[in-house]
Amino acid sequence: MKESIANAFISNLVIVFIIIFIFFFAGSLTYTKAFKVKNRIVDIIEKYEKFDSVTVDEIASTLGEMGYRVNVGNKGCPMRKEKESLTLNTNTYRYCVYEYSTTKGTYYGVAAYMYFDFPIIGQSLELPVYGETKIMGILR
């Protein structure tokens, strides 16, 4: 009887580790996709050295090709700090672009989102991945 209880315990332990491994694997895949999206948006903004309608159109086509998730709930972008100005995107994808002005010039902060859906309980979780462009348009 002791051996059957020990075998059941070891089987449960293996199942728990497999579930934990699956969560880490899914998390790393989601983080990688959000990181790639953020980097592509930063590259496009640095290419045009501004954030305007042309940039938004290229970002939208790039995100469509990458298979980035469409913003279903039409959620806005949260404010980061009081002195930062917020630039909203005008397309259907969920990312946020923030414009910062410094004495050296202007740079942009970009937030793309990782998504985790939990279908059993009907909830979803989104976590931002944030990055910044280089300083552009040097002020004198």
Span 23-46, pLDDT tens digits: 899 889 989 999 999 999 999 999
Side-chain half-sphere of 123: how many Cα atoms within 13 Å?
Answer: 3
Tell me how far the alpha carbon of residue 26 is from its chain's centroid.
14
Q: Give per-residue pLDDT as tens, 90-104.
A: 557 888 888 888 888
- For the cut 60, the answer to whether the pLDDT of residue 105 exceeds it is yes
φ, ψ dihedrals at 104, nearest 5°: -85, -25
